A and B are shown apart, each in its own frame.
Chain A
Amino acid sequence: MSKDNEILEEFTTKEYEHGWSVKYEADEAPIGLNEEIIKWISAKKEEPQWLLDWRLKAFDTFQNMTEPEWANVHYPKIDLQQLRYYSAPKQGKKPKSLDEVDPELLQIYERLGINLNEQKRLQGIAVDAVLDSVSVATTFKDTLSKLGIIFCSFSEAVKDHPELVKKYLGSVVAMTDNYYAALNSAVFSDGSFCYIPKGVRCPMELSTYFRINAANTGQFERTLIVAEDESYVSYLEGCTAPQRDENQLHAAVVEIYAAANAEVKYSTVQNWFPGDKDGKGGIYNFVTKRGLCAGDHSKISWTQVETGSAVTWKYPSCILKGDNSIGEFYSVAVTNNYQQADTGTKMIHIGKNTKSRIVSKGISAGKSQNSYRGQVQVMKRAHNSRNFSQCDSLLMGDRCGAHTFPYIDINNPTAKVEHEATTSKIGEDQIFYCNQRGIDTEDAVALIVNGYAKEVLNQLPMEFAVEAQKLLALTLEGSVG
């Protein structure tokens, strides 16, 4: 093995920082997946009949579907009958305000560096904290509601704003869209709901922080964001999970609806437990995220920094239906050790003069496999549509893999589609150059990787960008040394 590889070798042994868990008294569904369980969840959440019917319909379809196998990831079949689909902290009555939330639960978030106390929080970010199957707290609700903005847990939205939920639920990701989306539609437990009324610019970042705590439990949450005409919102999502030997399933659905002239920015820093350095444990992250640019001149922008999960299967997409609408996808996906990621996007151009931009930066280290899978589709009516895709891969060491699967489907001759791709290795020369200036190898790698990912990190809101930079360095720490 060359020196280069030896250097890269050592850089892969950093322990996962959020691997701890706490014991809480839980309200749990029995293990297994069947109609009774779905009814149990629905009853637990005191849902209206229409929603239970919706779930059962999804489940009915799901049962006739098979697990997709086209992704470039390999893992043992998941026995869905061995999972628990609902686990929530026993809280007695639903707390009315933060003061009533069990301080032990708040402490979980504090330990993760997320203070849910509004006075202590940095201004400008409202948080919905989701622990296993339920939302435990949402901050700044009152401040936001004065502007007509609804930001609450999904369950509350079902109770308080059923007309909105009914109108938009499944409107972007149909319940039968794919295997995991159908499963989610049947068993989802909570998530966040956000509604920005016409003409309102949301004055603070909205965020959901997902935490898996319970063992042997899947997390199935839904996020629904609706931005009415001329509105704007920036939404952040963060996630962590305890370190466990067995794999855990996370199958979420995110739907974004943007009306005319609305703009939604959705940023994710995904840091689920990736498994240990021998590939044991870790989260299976099978997520469906899609935005619909329904109105003219609307814009949806996805930014993701994917550092966690044992297996990732995720393609945040945009349907550009409105004329002159814009879709963007900025992604940094890092895989280390035995992680596998198959991630990318779909840009479906339906309206005229629609534009999309894809910037994907993959970083593979250890024995990991990192795939970009993207689809650009231009429909017949989409005159003068434009797409620019750039897919870069950075390899660290010689036992990892980087793969690019671009699909392009053009049905209109006026379309302009550009695709650029590069693959590079992190250079021993670059590291030596940094060393020669007194910078140690770990800092050198962090510097080089952050430089490589800069175009994407620049898309993140300030506070998140700093966190993401640290996370990138941490994920790769130990893979060079």
Chain B
Amino acid sequence: MLSIKNLHASIEGNEILRGIDLEVKAGEVHAIMGPNGSGKSTLASVLAGREEYEITDGEVTFKGEDLLELAPEERAREGVFLAFQYPVEIPGVSSTNFLRTAVNQVREHRGLDPLDAVKFLTMMKEKMKLVEIDQKLLSRALNEGFSGGEKKRNEIFQMAMLEPTLSILDETDSGLDIDALRIVSNGVNQLKSKDNATIVVTHYQRLLDYIVPDFVHVLYKGKIVKSGTKELALELEEKGYDWIKADVEQAAV
């Protein structure tokens, strides 16, 4: 589904990603871990199409198409979803109104008729259960005055509404207490199917107790330096990142 080859990206002249290779197939869950500043969030942003990053080398294909050629909204309509680490606030725009605009633009792209108000609300009610989100929250301005947990829950709720094929969760666990973490993970797990894939970007192993990955990759200094199965995450939890750093430095010598 997603194929990343030798991806290099920089911002304001600083190279952040230095040759990423990654293959993600339908039905898989990949975890990207790594110490602070290793490029995890940059990778998520580049895949979603944030324009301040310059792609200096490499290619990314998504469902056989050149992903890097597409505008951010086109990627979204093709099925790429990014759950933001810091969801933005849009004052005066209700979540419901925002989502209806989004859902209908995505549907239009997929050749479907727009949902009328009744059908949309029915769909919303159904998806709301997934992340135990309160309807009152959705009639408020988007993310305005939401708690950290509410914002993250709202991200996963939007994911449920937009039915993406590739979901990228950027540090979705940061700032969540244990209950919220459980609810959010539950939502993600229920949305999993053999036709979609998930990339979980995280700093901690904790989230992976709930969202069990098929593969774990360690990102360090803009490269994937180690890949393995979920056991790798446990090893990291136990030993920290230092041994990997040491490995890398040694290899470089």
Contact = CB atoms under 8 A, between A and B. Distances in A.
Interface string A418-433: 0000000001011011
Nearest to B108: A438
Contacts of B185: none
B102 interface: yes
A54 interface: no
A185 to B, nearest CB: 40
Contact of A432 (B72, B101, B103, B162): B72
Interface stretch (B83-91, B113-121, B238-246): B83-91
B34 interface: no
B73 A440 contact: yes
Contacts of A427: 88
A450 B101 CA distance: 13
Contacts of B162: 437-438
B50 interface: yes
Contacts of B93: 447-448, 450-451, 454
Nearest to A449: B92
Contacts of B75: 436
Contacts of A432: 50-51, 72
A438 B75 CA distance: 8
A322 B92 CA distance: 35
Interface of chain A, helix or strand or loop or mixed?
A: helix
Given A430-B90, A448-B93, A438 B109 contact: yes
A3 B52 contact: yes
Interface residues of A, number: 23
B98 A437 contact: yes
B82 interface: yes
B105 A443 contact: yes
A471 interface: no
Most chain A beta-carbon contacts within 10 A, residue among B50, B71, B92, B109: B92
B106 interface: yes
B71 A435 contact: yes
A439 interface: yes
30 contacts: A429-B88, A430-B88, A432-B50, A433-B90, A434-B73, A434-B90, A434-B98, A434-B102, A435-B73, A436-B48, A436-B73, A436-B76, A436-B82, A437-B106, A438-B73, A438-B76, A438-B77, A438-B105, A438-B106, A443-B105, A447-B93, A447-B97, A448-B93, A450-B92, A451-B90, A451-B92, A452-B92, A453-B92, A454-B93, A455-B92
Interface of A: 3, 427, 429-430, 432-441, 443, 447-448, 450-455
Closest 5 A-B residue pairs measured CB to CB?
A: A451-B92, A451-B93, A435-B72, A437-B102, A454-B92
